[in-house]
Amino acid sequence: MKGIILAGGTGSRLRPVTLSISKQLLPIYNKPLIYFPLATLMSAGVREILIITTPHDQVLFQKLLGDGSQWGLNLSYLVQEIPRGLADAFILGESFLGKDSCILILGDNVFHGPGLGSNLSRIHSSNGAEIFAYQVSNPKEYGVIEIDLEGKPVSIEEKPTAPKSNWAVTGLYFFDNTVSARAKSVLPSSRGEVEITSVIDSYLQEKTLGVNFLSRGIAWLDTGNVKAIHDASTYVRVLEERTGLQIANLEEIALRNKWISQESALSLTAERGDPDSREYMARIIRELGLNQ
């Protein structure tokens, strides 16, 4: 299983801030936004990840993340010259994916909650696709999945004027190794984009689409505007301060996955120059030792 993080786009709803920097590099409390989708993929056990960026932002992502080896990852990068829709990621990343199935996550989506990583790691899209649905109060702003009485998908529609449910399709998707071919067969929409809803619908018509309904205990935050960025930062700050546990700490996830050593985790944390972060990692290492 390989992963793709789509971190392109213009960030038009966050201007003027995003005139000079990608929204995925903006801070969510104490970490860059890109750390959160990366943490989700790591928690799912995905180590080979493609990051798709704009031409002028790629060097900044590379400076921040490098090749990922410090976390036991293999990161590679591709440029999306112009925004052509979410499904364009599968066309651009066709060579990267090869014959593997994949997880696509949007670079501005934050997922958090108990058991999320372990649940993701159990899903294998060797034949078909899986989407994640989340109940929202404003379904007109999202792609909406219609379901029958048995919880099976019936239809999917992008930003409907009359939503058939309040289950929004989140920015997290599993696809088998036919996804690139499917994306290339999709005709661009009136917006000139290769719509991911069209790709998902192709699986739906073949009855190979599964829907995972995220529970109330899972948080999904789409940080596409200024208010959402602020809300996500507040969410992370409050939880970290209340629980004493950090969200999207890449060193901790890599350590728990046994991808890096305790020494590497401490060294990476020390590079931040923050004594509290180093003490946090030392505490995690002590707790892991006690639980072995």
Residue whose C-alpha is closest to residue 44's, from 130, 144, 152? 130
Question: Tell me, what's the pLDDT at 51?
Answer: 96
CB 175 within 8 A of CB 239: no
Helices of type H across the chain:
35-43, 58-65, 88-92, 94-97, 116-121, 179-185, 196-205, 226-243, 250-256, 262-270, 275-291
Q: How many angstroms separate the CA atoms of 173 and 200, rounded?
A: 9
The pLDDT value recorded for residue 151 is: 80
Given a contact cutoff of 8 angstroms between Cβ atoms, the answer to whether 103 and 172 are in contact is yes
Phi, psi of 204 (to 5 degrees): -60, -45
Q: How many Cβ atoms from other residues are within 10 Å of residue 270's Cβ?
A: 13
Give the residues of the chain that fall short of pLDDT 70: 9-14, 18-19, 118-119, 124-126, 190, 192, 290-292
CB atoms inside a 10 Å sphere around CB 38: 29
Q: At what angle do helices 262-270 and 275-291 cross, to 10 degrees?
A: 170
Half-sphere exposure of 150 (CA within 13 A, CB side): 4
- Interatomic CA distance for residues 38 and 166, integer angstroms: 27
The pLDDT value given to residue 292: 47
- List Cα–Cα distances, 132 to 43, 226, 260, in angstroms: 16, 24, 30
- Using a 10 angstrom Cβ sphere, with 0-12 exposed, 13-18 middle and 19 or more buried, the burial of residue 258 is exposed
CATH number of 2-243: 3.90.550.10
DSSP state of 3: E
What residue has token string 């002590």? Answer: 286
User: Tokens 């590379």, residue?
Assistant: 62
Sorted by where each begins, the domain ranges of the chain are 2-243
Question: Model-level pTM?
Answer: 0.92
